Amino acid sequence: SLGRAMSAIISERPGEVFLIEGHTDAVGSATYNLALSDRRAETVALALSEYFDVPPENMITQGYGESALKIPTLDAERANRRATIRRITPLLRQAVLDN
């Protein structure tokens, strides 16, 4: 599973960082959807921590609301209601080098 894979990666490389992104469809207000996407990302991070022992300090959560629709539609599109997980360690290292 993804949780076990993340846990194994962090065991080998404790400095790894993952971005947990929450998304929504376009139904409802933008404010509501942004809050919902934040909760979605936080819930995924909490589950990874509780069920797979992924340390919270190795995860960053971010909600995008309806701003990054996978399928551009104003309808209640299920594919837009999702969470994604990205390994961002290389991006963070590059940002440190650039500064």
Average pLDDT over residues 56-63: 98
CB atoms within 10 A of CB 32: 13
pTM (two decimals): 0.90
97 in any annotated domain? no
- Domain with 35 in it: what CATH number? 3.30.1330.60
Query: What's the structural domain count of the chain?
Result: 1
pLDDT digits (tens, 9 = 90+) for 78-96: 998 999 999 999 898 888 8
Helix boundaries (H) for the chain: 2-12, 30-52, 89-98
51 in any annotated domain? yes
